[in-house]
Structure 1
Amino acid sequence: MDSQVIYADLSLTRESAPVSSSPPALLQDVCQGPHWHHWALKLGCAGILLLALAVIGLSVSVIFLNRNLSAETCNVDTQEENRTQTAEKPSPVECPISWHQLQEKCLLLLDIEHYWNDSLADCYQRKSSLLLIQDEVELHLIQHLIKAEGILYWIGLNFTLPEKNWKWVNGSFLHSDVLQIKGYRDRNSCAVLSNKKIVSEDCGAENKWICQKELKPVRKRWP
């Protein structure tokens, strides 16, 4: 009797044990997840790609815009420079009234008479100097301006005793192969010009004189 009861209890225990295993289909669904997750991932990737393309396009547009602005700025600067150059046209090269144009110089022949030093000071006040002669060619051209004979004009040349040589008022010395000065020479000797020659004269004598200034074009602004 006792052995049969134990067997029955064991049989009931095995038959009533719960089943804990899961169906295979349920595991597969859990691992794969819902289908909308995949669509959301694809849409997110597409959005990121579009955003990157938009950023690249915006960067390219900004670069081209900067280049265009730089080009326009350069064009404006060039136009302003051209306008300035056009506005600042040099006026025709002319000497002041009563002055004679001779090559690159303007010459003024004074009709009054003064000492050599006074003539030098007068030319200085006129923002010029006593006449300086470069060579024989220029000498002959200047002598053609002197119509009457026997009229003497002071020029910017005097005899300096320490060097014992003729010296121009600009500080340079006269070369004997350029001009020939006739007459005596001492500490009070200055040169005068006629329509025939250049001679030595006492600096205290009264003569007419010739002033010169360099001929330079003057820029004027046009409206």
Structure 2
Amino acid sequence: MAGEIVYADLIIPSEPHSSRLIHPPQQLNASQCPSWHRITLWAGCIGIVILVAAVIAMGLLLKAETEKSRTDADVLSLLRSVLCNQTLGNASVSSACKICPPHWHHYRGKCYWPSTQHKSWKESRDHCSGRNSQLLVIQDKEEMEFIPEIIEDKSMYWIGLAREEIPDKKWLWISGSEFDQTLFQEPSRTGRNNCGAIKNRKIVSDNCNAELSGICQRDSISI
């Protein structure tokens, strides 16, 4: 038996089938990320960017509005100081500044404009209406004392007073209120067609078709 070569078959057990199926999927999961994860991540980043941009935009808008409000207040303060002699930048000034259009006269919150054009009473009424005003309606004796300061005493000016034709021919202001005889003497009647005017610090009447100047009146402008 010496010198004989013995051959033997070496059988290596093969790896179980279940073991071969486990490792490849584990290596795949370790190297790859599902697509929905990446989409979610990108969506979150975009949302953060939009939020930051919105916050910045709101901040800039708020700053602009604050600066605009400050600028408007400065302009208003300047106007009041020039037009109403109020102290510039005085925050304690709470009363509104009341002004009138150019060539109008201011008195107790109203503006007065004596026209130099001669027209009938109705034409004068319409002329004032076209200037966003009305013919003068005198409220009290103080206002009556002021009017002669802005007109010529010897001239007659139409005011917003006329007499009804029917039934009892009352004097009415164009505002709808009746003429108060306890304040002023009733104008004399010169005929059927009578309208009120002012002359020499008195209320008089004349034919409504007569051509006279007129006094327009409107509320002052508050700033």
Question: TM above 0.5, one fold?
Answer: yes
Query: Percent of aligned pairs with the same residue?
Result: 23
Code of the aligned partner of 2:158: W
Q: Give 5+ residue unaligned stretches, structure 2.
A: 1-10, 84-97
Instruction: Please name the residue that 2:102 is paired with.
Output: 97
1:42 equivalent among 1, 11, 26:
26
Q: Is 1:160 aligned with 2:164?
A: yes
**TM-score computed with the length of structure 1 as normaliser:** 0.58
Instruction: Please name the residue that 2:92 is paired with.
Output: none
Map residues 91-170 of structure 1 onto 2, 5 A cutoff: 94-110=99-115, 114-124=119-129, 126=131, 128-133=133-138, 135-136=139-140, 139-140=143-144, 142-143=146-147, 145-146=149-150, 149=153, 151-162=155-166, 164-169=169-174
CA distance in 2, matches of 1:46, 1:136: 98
Cα distance change on mapping 1:113 and 1:59 into 2, 3 Å: closer
Is 2:148–2:201's contact at 8 Å kept on the other side of the alignment? no
CA distance in 2, matches of 1:184, 1:154: 15
Q: RMSD across aligned C-alpha pairs, in angstroms?
A: 4.3
Structure with more helix by fraction: 1
Number of aligned positions between the proteins: 190
CA distance in 2, matches of 1:210, 1:174: 19
Code of the aligned partner of 2:166: P
Code of the aligned partner of 1:70: A
Instruction: Please name the residue that 2:3 is paired with.
Output: none
Q: Is 1:26 aligned with 2:17?
A: no
Instruction: Please name the residue that 2:186 is paired with.
Output: 182
Output one character per residue of 1:60-82: Cα deviation in whole Å (capped at 9) or x when no partner: 21112222233344455556666
CA distance in 1, matches of 2:209, 2:18: 127
CA distance in 1, matches of 2:221, 2:32: 72
Cα distance change on mapping 1:152 and 1:54 into 2, 3 Å: same
**TM-score computed with the length of structure 2 as normaliser:** 0.58
CA distance in 2, matches of 1:117, 1:176: 22
Structure ID, larger Rg: 1
Q: Give 5+ residue unaligned stretches, structure 1.
A: 1-22, 219-223
Is 1:146–1:195's contact at 8 Å kept on the other side of the alignment? no
Is 1:160–1:187's contact at 8 Å kept on the other side of the alignment? no
Output one character per residue of 1:24-61: Cα deviation in whole Å (capped at 9) or x when no partner: x837x2234349x52x4334334556866544432221
CA distance in 2, matches of 1:43, 1:137: 106
